Amino acid sequence: MNCTVIPRDFESESKYFEGKGWFAVFTTPRHEKRIKEHFCLRQIENFLPLYRTPRQWKDGSKGTLELPLFPRYIFARIGAGSRIPVLEVPGVISIVGSSRESLSIPDSYVHLLRDGLRLGKVEPHPYLAEGAKVRVRSGLMAGMEGILLWNKNNFRVVLTIEMIMKSIVVEVDRYDIEAIDPHAGAYIERAAG
């Protein structure tokens, strides 16, 4: 289900987004798609990152599933005074943040996730907080910082959203990344040689 509540003209759009930010909404298990439907019905702008994965069932049949990239989370774009309509949706447990204020996610990160998923270059990855740090210089996730995974000539960068302790992995070209720490530089140099 695709829903958009964004005004069509530029002037209305800039007023519409004024004071709004993206927030991670914590949900009950396996209710992300249902909550998305409720958000759409209530005209709450949202983003549920889904990725496709092949699956084979016990009977031998095969298919493709669309699963949440971040299980138990959906993103909502709301203003400071719009928490209550989100929290009233059945299946919503909380909006991520402290008891006093919610923590917003940069618009750029949501746009990068959308583009990466559309191109099929983003997959879930177990939470990873330590390792050889790199910055993506160009390409899909330009400007993002993450942890380098390297296997022969295959470079992948693990990006983590600390506030929800979830990670994703993005495949990148060697020339699209730069080392932030010397450990990462050594990996990149070995691959080049």
pLDDT per residue as tens, the chain (193 positions): 567 554 444 444 444 456 899 999 999 999 999 999 999 999 999 999 999 999 999 999 999 999 999 999 999 999 977 899 999 999 999 999 866 677 889 898 898 889 888 887 789 999 988 888 999 998 878 888 899 887 766 788 999 888 899 999 988 888 888 888 876 777 677 666 5
Under DSSP, is residue 172 helix (H, G, I), strand (E, B) or coil?
strand
Coil, strand, or helix at residue 3?
Answer: coil
Bridge partners of residue 77, in order along the sequence: 22
What residue spans in the chain does CATH classification 2.30.30.30 cover?
118-193
Residue 173 has, within 13 A of its CA and on its CB side, a CA count of 7
Question: Buried (b) or exposed (e) across 32-46, using 16+ Cβ within 10 A?
Answer: beebbebbbeeebbb
Please tell me whether residue 21 adopts helix, strand or coil conformation. Answer: strand
- The neighbour count for residue 71, using CB atoms within 10 Å, is 12
Domain limits, CATH 3.30.70.940, in the chain: 1-105
In the numeric block, the tokens 């009233």 are attached to: 88
The model's pTM is 0.82
Rg (CA), the chain: 19
Just give the CATH number of 118-193: 2.30.30.30
Q: Which CATH class is domain 1-105?
A: alpha beta
